[in-house]
Amino acid sequence: MKNKTSVVTREGEAQPSRCPDNSAFKQQRLPAWKPQLTIASVLSSFFLTGAFCLAVGVCLVLSANSVREVQIDYSDKCSACSKLRENSSNWNKECHCSINFTLKEDILGDVFMYYGLQNFYQNHRRYVKSRSDAQLLGRNVNIQRSYCAPFSTYRNGTPMAPCGAIANSMFNDTIDLFYNYNSSRIQVPLLKTGNSWWTDKNVKFRNPESYNLSSAFAGTARPPYWWKPVYLLDEEDERNNGYVNDDFIIWMRVSAFATFRNLYRRLRRVRRFAEGLPAGNYTFQISYNFPVTRFKGRKHVILSTVVWSGGSNPFLGIAYLVSGTAATLAGFVITGIHLKLRKKKTYFQKQ
C-alpha cells in the first residue's frame, strides 16, 4: 500500500489523506511469530495440561485431607446464654458454658484455634465501607466526615474509638481450653499475639501517640456493643492493646462469604504440650457474649493443624482436578474428531 499525503477532490482542491504512513509498524509489516498449529502440538498441549492439573489436584486434595481438625458447634450447647443475650438489657450480665469433648488421637505439631461464624454477612457494601482507616492509623481526624455513621459519635458528640459498623460488631466471646488429666484440670497455654499479618500489625494499624494509651484515647468512647474501651482490650500485654490488638485486627479484615472462620489462638508448645495436643478429654470454657440468634447464625470453635498447602480446604485441589479432567477430555474429543475426518479424507482420495 502506497502512502498518499493528499487526495484531489472533484473541485480540484487538495485535502490531506487519512491513509497511515508507509512504515513497517503502521502498515503491519513487522516480523512476527506465526505458529502453525498441528494436530500433534494441539493434542500434546491438552494432554500435558490435563496431566499437570490432575497431578497438582491429587497432591492438594491429599494434603488437605491430612489436616487434623476438630470442629464443635456451641450455638445450641450454650442455649441458656444464647437466650440471655437475646435481650439487649442483659448486656452487662456474664454467662459461661462448658463443652466437653475427647481427642482419640494425638494432634501433633502446631495447633491453631479458630472461631467460626455461619450466616454472618460481612460483604454488604455499607458494612465494608463503615470504617475510618485514618483513625486506625492513629491520626486525629474528624470521623463525622467518614463512612462510620451511624457508629461515629454519640448524641452528646463524643466520638467512638474505633468507629464504624465493622468494629462495633467485633466478635467478643472468650474461649479457654482445658485438659482433663487424672481428675485434674490443666489450662492449655494459648498464644494471643502473632496471629495477624505483619503488614496489618506494623503498617495499617497504629495507636495515637501519647505517654499512655488511656490518655491517647481521652475524649473518646467505646462502640455501643463493646464491654470495655479499646485501650483495655488486652490488660495483660500493653503491646497488644488499642488498635494494634491482634483480635481486633483480624476481625477488621472482613470475609467475602457468609460462613467463615478467623484465627483466635495458637497452641504454646511448652511442657506437656510441647509435641502438640495429647489424646484425652478436654473442655472448652466459653464466656458467651456474641449473640447470633437474631440473624439465625451459628458459632463454632475449631482446633486444626496446617500443612504446606494451608488448612483443611479441598476447594483448590478439586478445581485443579476439574480443570485437568476437562483438558484431558477435550484432548480425547479432538483426537476422535481428527481420526474421523482423516478417514473421510482418505476415503474421498481413493474415490
Contact at 8 Å (CB) between 103 and 268? no
Contact at 8 Å (CB) between 248 and 228? no
Structural domain containing residue 110: 61-310
Residue 285, in any domain of the structure: yes
Residue 218, in any domain of the structure: yes
The dihedral through the CA atoms of 320, 322, 323, 327 has a sign that is positive
Distances (CA, A) of 134 to 216, 246, 313: 15, 18, 35
Residue 177, in any domain of the structure: yes
Strand partners, 6: 16
Residue 22, in any domain of the structure: no
Total domains in the chain come to: 1
Residue 304, in any domain of the structure: yes
User: Residue 7: its pLDDT value, please?
Assistant: 56
ω into 224 cis (within 30 of 0): no
**pTM for this model (two decimals):** 0.81
Distances (CA, A) of 45 to 63, 77, 327, 344: 27, 55, 9, 25
Range with the poorest average pLDDT among 67-76, 80-89, 101-110 = 80-89
Determine the Cα–Cα distance for residues 213 and 216; give it in Å rounded to an integer: 5
Residue 341, in any domain of the structure: no
- What residues contact 71, with CB distance under 8 A and at least 6 apart? 116, 300, 301, 302, 303
User: Residue 172: its pLDDT value, please?
Assistant: 92
Contact at 8 Å (CB) between 231 and 245? no
- pLDDT of 196-247, one tens digit each? 999 999 999 999 988 888 898 988 999 999 989 999 999 888 889 999 999 9
C-alpha cell at 214: 488511656
- Please state the rounded mean pLDDT for residues 102-110: 93
- pLDDT of 22-73, one tens digit each? 888 888 888 888 888 888 889 999 999 999 999 999 999 999 999 999 999 9
- Please state the rounded mean pLDDT for residues 253-276: 94
- What residues contact 21, with CB distance under 8 A and at least 6 apart? 3, 27
Strand partners, 115: 262, 301
Residue 55, in any domain of the structure: no
- pLDDT of 108-141, one tens digit each? 999 999 999 999 999 999 999 999 999 999 988 8
User: Residue 183: its pLDDT value, please?
Assistant: 84
Distances (CA, A) of 130 to 133, 163, 244: 10, 8, 19
Closest residue by Cα to residue 223 from 243, 195, 200, 193 = 243
Secondary structure class of 139 (helix, strand, coil): coil
Range with the poorest average pLDDT among 57-61, 86-90, 142-146, 222-226 = 86-90
Residue 342, in any domain of the structure: no
Q: Please say if the pLDDT value at position 306 is more than 50.
A: yes
Closest residue by Cα to residue 273 from 192, 188, 195 = 188
